[in-house]
Amino acid sequence: MKKVEIYTKNYCPYCHRAKELLRIKGIPFIEYDVTADVEKEREMQQRSGARTVPQIFVAGTGLGGCSELFELDEKGELDQLLGLKPPRNGSS
């Protein structure tokens, strides 16, 4: 399973939704709460190029935020991206 990191703020409803989806899927993740951590928030902005939370990274690659996470799940691509199931035959 690939390493998943998520930058959050404790009052953010999108952060809560994203974390809940990961929990439902049984995906362990490292959470960085940037609510009062200016340095971590700066790190998030440098890594993602974005100022909004959540920012989600899979194996060090920026995935985006909550809407991107749910969009990948709806397309059936999230499990494969997270390493939960192998690629379909013929996929590259």
One-letter identity of residue 46: Q
CA proximity to 22, closest of 30, 10, 33, 11: 30
Q: How many other CB atoms sit within 10 Å of the CB of residue 24?
A: 9
Q: What is the pLDDT of residues 34-92, one digit of tens each?
A: 999 999 999 999 999 999 999 999 999 999 999 999 999 999 999 989 888 766 665 54
Q: What is the pLDDT of residues 19-39, one digit of tens each?
A: 999 999 999 999 999 999 999
Q: Do 65 and 16 contact (CB within 8 A), yes or no?
A: no
Alpha carbons 22 and 14: distance in angstroms, whole number: 12
Q: Which fold has domain 4-81?
A: Glutaredoxin (3.40.30)
